[in-house]
Each structure stands twice: as structure tokens, then as C-alpha cells.
């Protein structure tokens, strides 16, 4: 189960889930141009890794962990579409396939720099789907650059509204207006607070969480303002150099 294959599936499932739909195996097979049995096999592996939940005869839904990984790759893909179209002048019917080829090799740091160069676009193209939100606690691109330079790492984050029952994480930051932020802080959702999801409808309705042994119910709109840091699965992040593990960088030159 290569990371590139997983990312392709995550991206395909995300396309259905972001519209409030479960991804059916037959639709995934058609979208990914693979056989239905191959989809079934991959979905089982992804479920075992906590990336998706599968409802027999209904379809597939990303978990919070799966959504966090999917948002990363979809964000890169849609930023690349804007770059290829706006900067390089590629035609609209070409940018999707080109972005598919490039997204898997684009680092988080390069994606953040690309976002800044594009002046933080909100959609992939002028009338395209929205670009997933920036996963950093910043207000603008200048702050983004400062955070990247100081920290150098990109955590696995997603909105609280994407988590499923049984999932947990810690509050990374809250993004939104003063009133909403204060309301969430008053509920005890401060930075570093551990939360556990008790109950949540698939796409709509409130989400029930446990915070410091207290049950709280949040509407989805409010839950979308809370960014949760999840445990980062290194197996999803590990990349192999295209020319093999024997290549390394030493004193400014590539050596074998």
C-alpha cells in the first residue's frame, strides 16, 4: 500500500465526502480507473489503518485522520491547478492531470510557499472547488513564512467537525471571529486541551465531545472553527527518494 496509492484514494473519497456523499466502491473504481475488487481490497486496508469507515452497501467515509491526510493532498492538488493555469498558462482541460502527477512529490513547505506566491487563493480555479484551509495558526502569508522558518514542521490537523466517534486529539488553535472564539474558549477548548469525540452524525448535525470529563455538544459551524492536532502516522509521511535510499546529500552535492 504505497503512500501515492493511498493519496489517490483519499483524494477520490474526499471529492464525494466534501459534497456530503458517501463514496461507493463502484464510483471509486470508475473514478480511479481500477477494478471494483481492487477498490474493495484497498478500502479494507485503509479501514484497518483508521483512514476510512465503510458502511456495507452504502459507501465510504473518511475518518478525521483520513480527512487530515486527504486535505493535505487535495490542498496541494488545487494549489498546483491554480499555479499551472494562472502562472504557466496551461489550459483548463490539462491542469488536473498535470497536478495529479506533481502533488505526490510536493512537500508541505513547498505547498505553503506556493500558496503565498498565489496570494492565498480560495478555489482551485475561478469557478472551481474550494481549497482546503491552511493548516497553520496564522492570519496571513507573512505569518505563515515566519512560522515555517521558526518551526519547520507541519502537523497533522483537521477541523473538529471532521472527526468521527471514538477519535481524539488536542486543540491546536481556533480560527474565526472574536465572538465565536470566546465562546469556544469559555467552553474549555483552549490550546492543548485533549478532546474525545463521543457522537457525531455523518455529515450534518451537532458533534458531541468529551473535554475534561465533561460532555459538550457543538454545532458543525462552530466545530469547523476548532483545529485538532491528530497523532501523525509516520508511515503515511515517509517518502522514498526516487533514485533509491542509497542517494544522500553531502556538502552541497548528491552522492551515492
Handedness of CA 8, 13, 19, 25 (dihedral sign): positive
The CATH number that applies at residue 52 is 1.10.10.10
Domain that includes residue 203, residue range: 157-234
Alpha helices in the chain (DSSP H): 3-17, 25-32, 36-48, 64-82, 92-103, 108-117, 141-151, 178-186, 220-223, 234-237
The CATH number that applies at residue 110 is 1.10.60.10
Domain assignment present for 252 = no
Domain assignment present for 240 = no
Report whether pLDDT(176) > 60: yes
Residue finishing a domain among 37, 62, 87: 62
Average pLDDT for residues 180-205, to the nearest whole number? 92
Report whether pLDDT(32) > 70: yes
Same domain, yes or no, for 107 and 146? Answer: yes
Domain assignment present for 250 = no
Q: How far is CA 93 from CA 18, 90, 115, in A?
A: 22, 8, 22
Domain assignment present for 254 = no
Residue finishing a domain among 101, 127, 151: 151
Per cent of the chain over pLDDT 70 is: 84
Same domain, yes or no, for 183 and 139? Answer: no
Domain assignment present for 207 = yes
Same domain, yes or no, for 139 and 176? Answer: no
Same domain, yes or no, for 75 and 146? Answer: yes
Domain assignment present for 247 = no
Same domain, yes or no, for 225 and 187? Answer: yes
Indicate the pTM of the whole model.
0.85
The CATH number that applies at residue 169 is 2.30.30.90
pLDDT digits (tens, 9 = 90+) for 99-128: 999 999 999 989 999 999 999 999 998 778
Same domain, yes or no, for 34 and 77? Answer: no
Same domain, yes or no, for 83 and 134? Answer: yes
Closest by CA to 156, choosing from 46, 43, 70, is 70
Residue 97 CB-density burial (10 A; 0-12 exposed, 13-18 middle, 19+ buried): exposed
Domain assignment present for 246 = no
Same domain, yes or no, for 147 and 101? Answer: yes
pLDDT digits (tens, 9 = 90+) for 48-74: 999 999 988 899 999 999 999 999 999
Same domain, yes or no, for 141 and 86? Answer: yes
Q: Which residues contact 168 (CB under 8 A, 6 or more apart)?
A: 194, 195, 196, 197
CA distance 148 to 112: 9
Report whether pLDDT(242) > 80: no
Question: How many domains does the chain divide into?
Answer: 3
Residue finishing a domain among 151, 186, 202: 151
pLDDT of residue 236: 44
Same domain, yes or no, for 114 and 98? Answer: yes
The number of C-alpha atoms within 13 Å of 201 and in the hemisphere containing its C-beta is 10
Domain assignment present for 243 = no
3-state SS track over 26-75: HHHHHHHCCCHHHHHHHHHHHHHCCCEEEECCCEEEECHHHHHHHHHHHH
Amino acid at each position: 500500500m504505497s503512500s501515492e496509492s493511498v493519496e489517490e484514494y483519499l483524494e477520490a473519497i474526499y471529492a464525494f465526502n466534501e459534497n456530503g456523499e458517501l463514496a461507493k466502491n463502484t464510483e471509486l473504481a470508475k473514478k480511479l480507473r481500477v477494478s471494483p475488487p481492487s477498490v474493495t481490497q484497498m478500502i479494507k486496508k485503509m479501514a484497518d489503518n483508521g483512514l476510512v469507515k465503510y458502511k456495507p452497501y452504502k459507501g465510504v467515509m473518511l475518518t478525521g485522520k483520513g480527512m487530515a491526510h486527504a486535505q493535505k493532498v487535495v490542498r496541494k492538488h488545487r494549489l498546483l491547478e491554480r499555479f499551472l493555469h494562472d502562472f504557466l498558462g496551461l489550459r483548463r482541460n490539462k491542469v488536473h492531470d498535470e497536478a495529479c502527477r506533481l502533488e505526490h512529490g510536493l512537500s508541505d513547505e513547498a505547498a505553503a510557499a506556493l500558496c503565498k506566491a498565489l496570494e492565498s487563493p480560495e478555489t482551485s480555479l475561478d469557478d472551481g472547488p474550494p481549497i482546503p484551509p491552511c493548516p497553520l495558526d496564522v492570519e496571513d502569508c507573512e505569518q505563515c513564512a515566519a512560522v515555517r522558518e521558526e518551526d519547520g514542521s507541519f502537523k497533522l490537523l483537521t477541523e473538529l467537525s471532521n472527526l468521527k466517534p471514538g477519535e481524539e486529539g488536542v486543540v491546536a488553535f481556533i480560527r474565526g471571529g472574536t465572538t465565536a472564539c470566546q465562546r469556544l474558549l469559555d467552553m474549555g477548548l483552549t490550546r492543548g486541551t485533549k478532546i474525545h469525540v463521543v457522537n457525531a452524525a455523518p455529515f450534518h448535525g451537532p458533534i458531541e465531545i468529551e473535554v475534561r470529563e465533561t460532555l459538550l455538544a457543538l454545532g458543525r459551524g462552530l466545530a469547523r472553527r476548532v483545529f485538532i492536532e491528530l497523532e501523525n502516522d509516520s508511515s503515511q509521511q515517509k517518502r522514498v527518494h526516487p533514485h533509491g535510499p542509497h542517494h544522500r546529500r553531502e556538502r552541497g552535492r548528491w552522492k551515492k
